[in-house]
Amino acid sequence: MDWMKMPPLSSLKAFHAFAQTRNVVKAGDLLNVSHAAISQQLRALEKHLGTALLDRRGKSLQLTAEGEKLARSLQLGFGAIGDAVADLMHLAEDRPVHVSLTPTFAASWLMPRLPAFQALHSDIPLALDPSPKIVSLRPGGVDVAIRYGDGDWPGLNAELLLQSPIVIVAAPSLLGGKTSLTPDELSKLPWLEELGSTETATWLARHGAERGPSAGRIAMPGNLVLEGVRAGQGAAVTVRHFVEADIEAGRVIELFRERGTLGYHIVTGNTPLRPAVKTFVGWLRRQAGKM
């Protein structure tokens, strides 16, 4: 196909609308433009093709034989395009909202709230991907990511959902009666860490204990880390929000708290969100507002 010889799409649409309605006013209503704009597009199309598509001799416009031929072709072409678009939009509507999030956030924050979402939006399926790995956000893939940080991620839209500082915690049984330890003393404890993360080594190195945990480090799914901490199996780096109740109840002791304004963010790509994704994101905002 020689695209340089093709007429402008706007003139083809105007002609197709006229062929459907056989009236310039109704064609204008169909495309939400004036009848004068339709007439102008029809003349421009005839000029481009170098042939008469309309017979203007009677009281009303009629299609010539050439016009009827083009009208049939456009009916097939635009009809096929319309069917394909409708199918794709239907597929997009049926596709689950794909959410990437850390296992800890999934187990501690989202899962207890999901029954409320399902009760309100039983028609919206969700696909949760609990993983600490950073994923790309693209149409047809992950729709929403919930990630911890400062929200400064170039090329993405980030909205603060839950603000909470990073803390170091351990159970009293692991600390032997102590309520405070230096980073060097902490490095001698066993540590529990979420699979795929390096938070333990990063934190210790940043506080002068470069050699890392001398008593060993166990990597496990994030939803199991806090259970291990409560059982006295090791110290851990975590977000304070998830252990606030444990700290208040004395089940764990807060040994260090990082300063700053970090938190969990709703992260989306720079593309229009599907209606179902908008609904889920709006629900997340309202849940955070209830806290």
Q: Which two tokens stand for residue 16?
A: 């197709």
Q: Which two tokens stand for residue 269?
A: 């790509």
Polymer length in residues for the chain: 291
Nearest CA to 242 out of 231, 233, 252, 234 is that of 252
* Rounded alpha-carbon distances, angstroms, from residue 168 to 179, 240, 259: 12, 9, 12
3-state secondary structure of 27: helix
For the question of whether the overall pTM of this predicted structure is more than 0.85, the answer is no
Q: Residue 214 and residue 216: Cα distance in Å, rounded?
A: 6
One digit per residue, the tens of pLDDT, for the chain of length 291 reads: 777 888 999 999 999 999 999 999 999 999 999 999 999 999 999 999 999 999 988 888 899 999 999 999 998 888 888 777 766 666 566 788 999 888 888 888 899 999 999 999 998 999 998 877 777 777 667 889 998 888 888 888 999 998 888 889 999 999 888 888 888 888 888 889 888 776 777 777 777 766 556 667 788 877 788 899 999 998 888 888 888 999 999 999 999 888 777 788 999 988 888 889 999 999 999 988 765
Nearest CA to 96 out of 131, 121, 130, 132 is that of 121
What pLDDT digit, counting tens, does each position of 193-223 carry?
A: 888 776 777 777 777 766 556 667 788 877 7
Q: Is the dihedral of CA 143, 149, 150, 154 positive or negative?
A: negative
